[in-house]
Amino acid sequence: MGPGPSDVSQRVLNAMARPTVGHLDPLFIDLMDDIKGLLQYAFKTDNPLTMPVSAPGSAGMEACFANLVEPGDKVLVCVNGVFGQRMVENVTRCGGQALVVEDDWGKQTDLQKVEDKLSAHPDIKILAFVHAETSTGVRNDAQQLCKLARQYDCLNIVDAVTSLGGIELDVDGWGIDAVYSGSQKCLSCVPGISPVSFGPRAVERIQNRKVPVQSWFLDMNLIMGYWGKGGKRAYHHTAPVNSLYALHESLLMLKEEGLTQAWQRHQQGHQKLYKGLTDLGISFAVDESYRLPQLNVVSIPDGVDDAAVRKHLLDEFNLEIGAGLGNLAGKVWRIGLMGFACKDRNIDHCVASIAKAIR
């Protein structure tokens, strides 16, 4: 019950153990088409350019920035945690100029500050932000941020690593241009795969670049030769066949449950955990109106030894919870309720174990 990877179900592990076939085997090509359709369902999009990048969430992040940012481009990044900071690094390494709207860790990105920056710099080309900040447990207002981007004629890049499958995310409904996620959070798949989706405005930008994408591996124009629909599929890289079996299975499970039902299950799990922990006198660090249900950030009670309690939980109760990151290190714990791990039995075990560990 840390901040990810989350528990993987036996069903997904079994899928992963199926025999490895070639990455151009007709059976596998059919599975690839299924995966694309299931990802479109999970992201709520009709974008044809929706596919899994064969690498972790950070590669999905790089894929978005490397394909959309050209040298000299101004990109506005909202930073209120670790992963917003990582976006700034990406912009700079692509030769772009990062402008930053900074908010305190544990607080939501301030929409007014974003609007002020967008109106002061009409040449900003992209607005980038993290939907669910795993480092702080904060949900940024993706719908309103995308609306602002549209209003100021910018593309948007959205980090949905922790949000996909855990809270509402509506790629087409909110006008998201480029989005990336990770297999290891609320999808409860094995780590190492990053679903991405690019909308029509983003595709147009990629196809009309002045300079080629610096990264050969992440160049969407080339990857589409392998993942593109309809046309002939050609070798680009050796796909992680077994991990894609696992992704396929985890997406099937999400579809069987239903997206809305999955979001509700995370919310109900959060409420149960909230009751259990507040009854122990443990307080939640993030305001309820923008608190993530799948990543619960709680203040470490006074006088409690952070590292000793986490070690005790792991050694005695086989329970992992996450430490605070960056500015929040030593002040908070991060308790994940992601995907398959978000169930009553785990929540009861977590509350009972923490009760004993802090005594």
The residue ranges that bind ligand PLP (CB under 6 A) are 4, 56-58, 61, 83, 130, 134, 159, 161-162, 182
Of 73 and 159, which has the nearer Cβ to ligand PLP? 159
Output the smallest distance, CB 2 to ligand PLP, in A: 10
Nearer to ligand PLP, 80 or 134 (CB): 134
Bridge partner residues of 129 (DSSP): 158
In order of 38, 266, 270, 310, 321, the CA distances from 340 in angstroms are: 18, 10, 14, 22, 16
By beta carbon distance, the residue nearest ligand PLP is 57
Least separation in angstroms between CB 121 and ligand PLP: 25
Our CB check for ligand PLP shows the closer of 48 and 57 to be 57
Nearer to ligand PLP, 124 or 128 (CB): 128
Please state the separation of Cα 356 from the chain's center in Å.
Answer: 32
76: nearest Cα among 149, 169, 181: 149
Q: C-beta of 83: minimal distance to ligand PLP in Å?
A: 4
CA 288 from centre of chain:
20
Q: Decide whether 187 or 351 has the Cβ nearer to ligand PLP.
A: 187
Residue ranges at the known binding site: 334
Cβ proximity of 196 and 180 under 8 Å: yes
DSSP designation for 77? E
268 exposure class (CB count in 10 Å sphere: 0-12, 13-18, 19+):
middle
Query: For the range 313-317, what are the long-range contacts, defined as Cβ-Cβ under 8 Å and sequence gap of 24 or more?
Result: 313/353, 313/354, 313/357, 316/353, 316/356, 316/357, 317/349, 317/353, 317/356, 317/357
CA pair distance 323, 236, nearest whole angstrom? 39
Q: 295 or 351: whose CB is closer to ligand PLP?
A: 295
Query: Nearer Cβ to ligand PLP, position 163 or 353?
Result: 163
DSSP designation for 9: -
Helix (H, G, I), strand (E, B) or coil at 73: coil
Q: How far is CA 10 from CA 18, 189, 193, 248, in A?
A: 13, 10, 18, 14
Enumerate the known binding-site residues for substrate.
334
Minimum distance, C-beta of residue 137 to ligand PLP, in the bound complex (Å): 11
Q: Which residues have a Cβ under 8 Å from the Cβ of 315 and sit 6 or more positions away?
A: none
**Nearest CB to ligand PLP, comparing residues 5 and 96:** 5
User: How near is the Cβ of 139 to ligand PLP at its closest, in Å?
Assistant: 11
Query: What is the residue type of 26?
Result: P
Largest CA distance in the chain: 63
**Min separation Cβ 294 and ligand PLP, Å:** 11
- Phi/psi at 30 (5° precision): -60, -40
In the complex, the smallest distance separating the C-beta of residue 231 from ligand PLP, rounded to whole angstroms, is: 30
* Smallest distance from ligand PLP to CB 87, Å: 9
